[in-house]
Amino acid sequence: MSEFKNIGLIGRTESVNAVTSLTRLMKFLEREGYSVVLEEEIAGAVRHSARVSAKEKLGELCDLVIVVGGDGSLLAAARALAKFSVPLLGINRGRLGFLTDITPDEVEQKVGDVLAGKYMAESRFLLDMSVTRSGKPVGKGTALNDVVLHPGEFIRMIEFDLYIDGQFVYTQRSDGLIISTPTGSTAYALSGGGPIMHPKLDAIVLVPLNPHTLSSRPIVVEGSSEFKIIVGEYNTTKPYVTCDGHEQIITKPGDVIRIHKKPHRLTLVHPLEHNFYEICRSKLGWAE
């Protein structure tokens, strides 16, 4: 008997292809006798008789959540559900699909295999970010990929101080800084010149964005490291800090940004033949 009985479904309602795959998946699950719980945003996009739930509640109701969409959809699900320890499985209806690795035409076979216990589970860590101003909280966020400090609306160099585990690292003038998990090392950090890190690594990479000094290079540190960024007093712009390009806080000079590993980890479920290096070959064009 399957360890997964209650299956939550999340998807991109603005994508016709995603809605088609969601409908196909829902019919398959119900035909196989599983209890389906639809995230409320997609409930109005498909014909169904299933239970409906807010995204955050899926973690309490479900043994497994399947995300139909791109990596962005899975990132959003991870931020909402990580604290519940419910595993996530991704079906790719986006572009690259580093995290959503089942193709639409193999839904029944691959999802069926996972539900039959033929799968591998992978643990990923997330980052917690908070901003304080004069000692008072301004905002916070969670990221599976990265936390990014950037100029915001205007393309202007910004200045900030970086501390790691209480030790001063540097004062930098640049377009910003990417603080990335291994999961995010194949995303924005890669575009910024950062290294590709295997998902099993307990490490964080810091990638400067167009630094004013050519000697500024990416730094890889322990995953348990704690970061403090102090926004420079003389910036002429108000830098933004974002989590996975989604949650956004506008900072002011003197604000303190703190980043550290989230205590809750995310479990990603993959088919047995999942291979990180094969994904890199196909998605990044290594075989060409």
* Among 63, 71, 165, 244, the one annotated catalytic: 71
Q: Report DSSP letters for 108-141, one per residue.
A: HHHHHHHHTT-EEEEEEEEEEEEEEETTEEEEEE
8 A C-beta contact, residue 11 and residue 18 = yes
- Two structure tokens written together for 240: 């933004």
CB 172 within 8 A of CB 216: yes
Q: Which residues contact 157 (CB under 8 A, 6 or more apart)?
A: 151, 173, 174, 175, 212
Which phi-psi region, left, alpha or beta, contains residue 221 (left: φ > 0; alpha: ψ -120 to 50)? beta
**Sign of the alpha-carbon torsion through 189, 191, 193, 198:** positive
User: In 3-state terms, what secondary structure has residue 42?
Assistant: helix
* 71 catalytic residue (yes or no): yes
- Beta strand 219-222 pairing with 51-53: unpaired
CA distance 203 to 8: 31
- Give me the residue label for tokens 């290294």: 195
Residues catalogued as catalytic:
71
